[in-house]
Structure 1
Amino acid sequence: MSGFIAGGLVPSESIPGAHINSNPFWPSIDLDKLRETLRIDSSVTPARLETAVVAAIIGVNRDLSTWRAARQAEGFTTLAGTPDDTRLTSAERAHLYVRAVECAAGAEVCERYRGYDATASGSKNADDSAPTIDDYRRDQRWAIRDFLGTSRTTVELL
C-alpha cells in the first residue's frame, strides 16, 4: 500500500512571522495573516504565495503611486505618518492598502490553482472558484477606490 495521497497537502515551509516589504512608505504584508485571512492552505507553497504577494504589491503600489508621491512631497515618509482627514484615518488607509494587496494576491492564487486538478471534480471546482476570482478583483478595486476617495461606480450614458 502506498503512502501517496493525490491532492494531499504539502508541509508548510513558511517562516512564522514572515513579512514582505516594498517601498518603505507602505506597511509590510504579513504572510501568515494573509494565509489566514484568505484561508489559503499549505497546498499553496510559500514560494508561490510570495510570488503572488509580490505581484499584488507591485500592482497596488502602481495604482497608488500618484497619491504616495503627493504625500511624500508634503514631507510624510510613511503611510502611518500621514494625517487623518475628514474621510479616513491613517489606520483605515493602512487597512485598505493591506486589503487591496490581499485581494490581488488571492485572485492570483485562485487563477493559478484553477487547473491544478484536471478531473471532473477539478473542473467543477474551477467553475466554482471563478466568482471568487471576480470577487477578489472587485474587492481590490473597491479598496483602492475607497483609499483614494473615488466612487466605486462608473456610470456612462449610452
Structure 2
Amino acid sequence: MPFIALPPDPASPDGEVVAGDGWYPDIDVNAMRDALRIGELVTDARLIEAIKGGQLTIEGELEDWRAAREVEGAADLSAVDPARMTGGTHRLTLLYTRAVRFAAAAELSELHRDLTATETGQARADTAATTAPDYHRLATSAVRDILGTGRVAVELI
C-alpha cells in the first residue's frame, strides 16, 4: 500500500472571519495564517482574540480619520477613494487588513512563547521576540499610508 501524505487540517475552520463593524471589513482568519505563516501552534481561539485586539488598536488609531470620512459621506471604508486599487483590491481595504494583521501578529509574537526549556525552544522564543517590533512597524506603516502621512518622523535637536 503506498504512503499518502495529506496536509494537516487548518487550525481554523475554512471561511472563518472576524467580523468588522460594518464600516471596516471582516478579517479572514486563514488568509491571515497564510499571509503571515502563522502555524498551528497558535490555536484558533488565540488567533481570533489577537485579530480582535488588532482591530481595536488600528480602529482606535484611525478614529478621527474615519469620522472625517463619514462626514464626507463614506458609508464604509470601500467608499473612500473607491477607484484606487492595488492588485485588483481596494487600496484602503488592503492597507486596513495589513494593519490589523500586523498588529495581531505583534501581539501574538509578544505573548506566544514556546513553553519548552530546550535550547531549540528558547531559540524560537528569542526569534519571536525580535519580530514583534517589526510587526508593530509594519502596522504603523499601513496606518500612516491610510492617513496619508509620512512614515518617518525626524526631529532636529
- After TM superposition, the score normalised by the length of structure 1 is 0.84
CA distance in 2, matches of 1:105, 1:128: 17
Q: SS in structure 1 opposite 2:50?
A: helix
Number of residue equivalences: 147
Q: Which amino acid aligns with 2:132?
A: I
Structure 2's unaligned 5+ residue stretches are: 1-7
What is the CA distance between 1:13 and its match in structure 2? 5.0
- After TM superposition, the score normalised by the length of structure 2 is 0.85
Structure 1's unaligned 5+ residue stretches are: 1-9
What is the CA distance between 1:11 and its match in structure 2? 6.4
- Structure 1's 149 and 32: CA in aligned 2 closer, same or farther, altered over 3 A? same
C-alpha distance after superposition, 1:110-130 (max 9, x if no partner): 112234333222222222223
1:95-110 → structure 2 map (5 Å cutoff): 95-110=94-109
CA distance in 2, matches of 1:48, 1:35: 12
Which residue of the partner structure matches residue 21 of structure 1?
19
Q: Percent identity?
A: 37
CA distance in 2, matches of 1:23, 1:65: 13
- Conserved? CA contact 2:114–2:124, under 8 Å: no
- Structure 1's 39 and 106: CA in aligned 2 closer, same or farther, altered over 3 A? same
Superposed structure 1 runs of 4+ greater than 3 Å apart: 10-13
